[in-house]
Structure 1
Amino acid sequence: MNHSNQTEVVVEEGTSSKKFLVPFIFVVSLFFLWGMAHNLDSSLIPHLKKACNLNFIESMFIDFSIFFAYFIMAIPAGMILKKWGYKKSMIAGLVAFAVGAFLFVPAANSLSYITFLTALFIIGCGLTILETTANPYAAVLGDPKKATFRLNLAASFNGLAAAVAAYIGTRFILSDKSFTTEELNAMPKSESLAYFLEEAASVKLPYIILGSVLIIIAIIFCFIHFPEIKTKSIDGEAKGSFLGALRHKHLKWAVVAQFFYVGAQVCVTSSFIFAMQQGAGFDKETAGNYLIAYGVLFTVGRFVGTALLRFISPNKLLSTYSLIAIILCLIAVFGKGDIMAYALGGLGFFMSIMFPTIFGLGIDGIGDDTKPGSSWLIMSIVGGAVVPLAMGALMDSNKENVQIGYSIPLVCFLVILYFGLKGYKIAHK
């Protein structure tokens, strides 16, 4: 990419490449942990919909709470990184993440959906700090020529978390015990309340364990030496600006494409269990097993996609995958039984390379505007908050028809297809 020669990495004196290994291993663990947070939502949404007696659009505020935090915290997270450095920023992100996880206990005890959403927002703030810090740190932590390899390696553990989180969610959060609205209305209030409290309680142990692991890792980080790596402009001070970065037409389209991609991914995973039950007729355990398979395919897809990028240009691979994703969404909307289940699982494979590919195409050739351009692309993650609300509203307005909701990610993939065919092109002046 043309921007790669704009900066040089400055490493503190006395740091050898071998000393990067241990810090890199712990940074990779962060990719896995925030992958866990996002992918547990796939089980959390259907479970809290039942435990808190929600409709679809209300349940989608689970995703909204996390991804809206990205929008709010994107700029503050950059300021924290600039002031505190990599190590302290990562510790701050871990602690905020843990505080949100522990808040699940009072939320479940009080059966308060607002408290759940507050906990998720705090988790989202912690994740924003971690992603803002860990992504660039993994890129520069070692030989510059291997930066792409390090990022892809770290990101593969983010994909691995999708499978692990699906397993934990299926085995420890989801339950097959459910009642219709009529059955709940016929119950004595004390009995229905006991049922809702029992359902909500199942989220406590997984999030207590998650929060405890986060605190332990934060403590370990305090005692590990992380080389403080800085970048400086080779040609002097960077001239890029936040608003000025949008003069690059392909960056603007990348921001739009990323907004819709994150929205599409969240829609697919958030409604996965619902769709498997409604369209394929599966019980929750079987649906959960397909969710695990989806996570595995997402991980495999990232490795396969990375290999294919050695032979196929990024925009062509992105366009091809987007077209296939559109077809799979059509099957998800109109299909029934196993074919619909296979289509949803397949989406994991073909979505796997979209985020990093859009990101890379968006900042290609923008020089000193790379950093503000990256900030715009991080802020576009807010699509994960907005787009699922549209999907929830569509499903509610169609008598809780989950399959029709997949027309929303279908539209998202159309936007990404346009970006891969035309929007990615750099406008030469």
Structure 2
Amino acid sequence: MPGPTAASGTASTVPGSVRVSSFAVMSLLSSLFFIWGFITVINNTLLPHLRSVFDLSYTQTTLIESVWFAAYFIASIPSARLIERVGYKRAIVTGLAIMAVGSLLMVPAARLPSYGVTLFALFVIASGITLLQVSANPYVTVVGSPETASSRLNLVQAFNSLGTTLAPLFGAYLILGRSNSGTAQANTVLTQAERLADAQAVQLPYLIVAGVLVLLAVAIARFPLPALHAGTRRVSKEVRATLSLWRHRNLVLGIPAIFIYLIAEIGVANLFINFVALPEIGNLSHEQGAHYLFLMWGGMMVGRFAGSVLMRRVAAQHVLAMASIGAFMVMLVAALGTGQVALWALVSVGLFHSVMFPTIFTLGIRGLGPLTEEGAGLLIMAIAGGALVIAQGWLADTVGLQLSFLLTAACELYVLFYAVWGARCGSHAGRPD
């Protein structure tokens, strides 16, 4: 299986440090991926809740997630510079601390309640996750054998998906299940008193999240994470001047691939509950819809575990191509079908989306060598594509929620293009696949 050609590191050996097992390293990193996936997907249950509390349109609702993903664009470069200054381990601990602060800010946001403070708190949490993304994704990719990089990143991303799978149940029980808007049928109008009472429902979940983040930060601070191999570290300014990221087609086309894929993933996740609640689709309450969202994220988790195994035998770009074709087909059914057929089509897209981010990421940094860190930073910045979910919100308000998923179907076609042609390394960047 073709893999990144960056020099590999050894997870079990830390020069001048304590010897640690690869299993222990991957277990700790998996917990890190789990927690930020969990927190990110709490938003999927939070958004329909806030839509009712603040009486928002679809455009205003998706603006919340746009602010979240704008943090990736704003915080990625500062995050890369912080990693260069303090190292991966301290950067990870700092990211967890920033996330804990943002989670605590959700408490005053709920007490006021304030739409503006809520947006700011979510931006802070997303900035912390950005720092984790910029540090942990490339770390997992280059800390082991390059031949199994895609498999390895899909494995830890599977634990990220475990977090995203459990988060809707957590949110359904502690947010939607404890609010008037969450247990009512679609289009129910709440009184002002009910909205104020509902706003308080987010306090306990985010206090729990903040506590877990602090505990994880302490655990990582005390753990001897291995150093990366010298072949993937930054080089001197003189040597760097002779190298160019833009000569690597797989990176240049991988950046928009991540950007466009995130529009698809976040659009589906954020509007999922509102979609299945439609009378012509599932006619469900938001709380009931969250359980179907659990199945969608569960499919993503299963797909990543399966992809981790499959990519040890099949080239990563081939798996990515098959996944994009499947995603395109089910999104057409979701956008144009009705009832249970459309509902289950949208649920199934999680299975096809599962391998896309980690596979695009590993293909994008393949062959970068000492430019790996910089290339990874650009790919993480491209996660800001999720901010354009507001475009789907506008389409939902303009042409209807269901037809807005045609935008998602179009996004899958670019991923297919990247898998078939864009992911190939040019002759100047490495041997073509």
How high is the TM-score relative to the length of structure 2?
A: 0.88
Moved more, 248-257 or 259-268: 248-257
Q: Is the 8 A contact 1:3 1:367 kept in 2?
A: no
Query: How many residues are treated as equivalent by the alignment?
Result: 416
- For residues 383 and 235 of structure 1, the distance between their equivalents in structure 2, rounded to whole angstroms, comes to 27
In the TM superposition, residue 407 of structure 1 has moved relative to its aligned partner by 1.1
Query: In structure 2, do the counterparts of structure 1 residues 233 and 111 end up closer, same or farther at CA, with 3 Å as the change threshold?
Result: same
CA displacement 1:190-235 (0-9 Å, x = unmatched): xx3311111211111111110111122223444x232451442399
Q: Is the 8 A contact 2:148 2:312 kept in 1?
A: no
Q: Is the 8 A contact 1:240 1:370 kept in 2?
A: no
Q: Is the 8 A contact 2:186 2:285 kept in 1?
A: no
2:166 maps to 164
In the TM superposition, residue 289 of structure 1 has moved relative to its aligned partner by 1.4
1:405 paired to 2:404: yes
- For residues 308 and 24 of structure 1, the distance between their equivalents in structure 2, rounded to whole angstroms, comes to 19
- For residues 60 and 275 of structure 2, the distance between their equivalents in structure 1, rounded to whole angstroms, comes to 17
Query: In structure 2, do the counterparts of structure 1 residues 158 and 257 end up closer, same or farther at CA, with 3 Å as the change threshold?
Result: same
Moved more, 70-79 or 84-93: 84-93
Query: Which stretches in structure 2 are left out of the alignment for 5+ residues?
Result: 177-181, 429-433
Query: In structure 2, do the counterparts of structure 1 residues 247 and 365 end up closer, same or farther at CA, with 3 Å as the change threshold?
Result: same
Q: Is the 8 A contact 1:90 1:130 kept in 2?
A: yes
2:255 maps to 255
SS of 2:277's equivalent in the other structure is helix
- For residues 53 and 328 of structure 1, the distance between their equivalents in structure 2, rounded to whole angstroms, comes to 31
SS of 1:111's equivalent in the other structure is coil
2:184 maps to 177
SS of 2:159's equivalent in the other structure is helix
Q: Is the 8 A contact 1:24 1:141 kept in 2?
A: no
In the TM superposition, residue 88 of structure 1 has moved relative to its aligned partner by 2.1
Q: 345, 348, 358: which is aligned to 2:347? A: 345
SS of 2:402's equivalent in the other structure is helix
- For residues 121 and 242 of structure 1, the distance between their equivalents in structure 2, rounded to whole angstroms, comes to 37
Query: In structure 2, do the counterparts of structure 1 residues 396 and 375 end up closer, same or farther at CA, with 3 Å as the change threshold?
Result: same
Q: 91, 106, 109: which is aligned to 1:107? A: 109
1:395 paired to 2:396: yes
- For residues 51 and 329 of structure 2, the distance between their equivalents in structure 1, rounded to whole angstroms, comes to 29
1:4 maps to 5
Q: Is the 8 A contact 1:86 1:228 kept in 2?
A: no
In the TM superposition, residue 298 of structure 1 has moved relative to its aligned partner by 0.7
2:34 maps to 32
Query: In structure 2, do the counterparts of structure 1 residues 251 and 106 end up closer, same or farther at CA, with 3 Å as the change threshold?
Result: same
Q: Is the 8 A contact 1:3 1:370 kept in 2?
A: no
The one-letter amino acid paired with 1:396 is: D
- For residues 6 and 417 of structure 2, the distance between their equivalents in structure 1, rounded to whole angstroms, comes to 29
CA displacement 1:18-69 (0-9 Å, x = unmatched): 3x65454333211111001111111111111111111011111221122111
CA displacement 1:169-205 (0-9 Å, x = unmatched): 1222121236858x56xxxxxxx33111112111111
Query: In structure 2, do the counterparts of structure 1 residues 300 and 230 end up closer, same or farther at CA, with 3 Å as the change threshold?
Result: closer
In the TM superposition, residue 334 of structure 1 has moved relative to its aligned partner by 1.2
The one-letter amino acid paired with 2:183 is: D
Q: Is the 8 A contact 2:150 2:308 kept in 1?
A: no
Percent identity, please.
Answer: 33
- For residues 20 and 253 of structure 2, the distance between their equivalents in structure 1, rounded to whole angstroms, comes to 38
SS of 1:233's equivalent in the other structure is helix
The one-letter amino acid paired with 2:223 is: H
1:15 paired to 2:13: no
The one-letter amino acid paired with 1:424 is: A
- For residues 395 and 171 of structure 1, the distance between their equivalents in structure 2, rounded to whole angstroms, comes to 27
The one-letter amino acid paired with 1:176 is: T
1:299 paired to 2:301: yes
* Equivalences for residues 262-277 of structure 1 within 5 A: 262-277=262-277
- For residues 319 and 146 of structure 2, the distance between their equivalents in structure 1, rounded to whole angstroms, comes to 25
* Equivalences for residues 10-409 of structure 1 within 5 A: 11-18=14-21, 21-22=23-24, 24-139=26-141, 150-174=152-176, 175-177=182-184, 192-222=191-221, 224-227=222-225, 229-233=227-231, 237=235, 239-240=239-240, 244-278=244-278, 279-386=281-388, 388-398=389-399, 401-409=400-408
The one-letter amino acid paired with 2:392 is: M
Q: Is the 8 A contact 1:139 1:148 kept in 2?
A: yes
Moved more, 329-338 or 129-138: 129-138
How high is the TM-score relative to the length of structure 1?
A: 0.89
SS of 1:60's equivalent in the other structure is helix
In the TM superposition, residue 97 of structure 1 has moved relative to its aligned partner by 0.1
In the TM superposition, residue 284 of structure 1 has moved relative to its aligned partner by 2.3
Moved more, 322-331 or 150-159: 150-159
In the TM superposition, residue 115 of structure 1 has moved relative to its aligned partner by 0.7
Query: In structure 2, do the counterparts of structure 1 residues 22 and 308 end up closer, same or farther at CA, with 3 Å as the change threshold?
Result: closer
CA displacement 1:48-103 (0-9 Å, x = unmatched): 11111110111112211221111111111112112222332222111110111111
The one-letter amino acid paired with 2:14 is: V
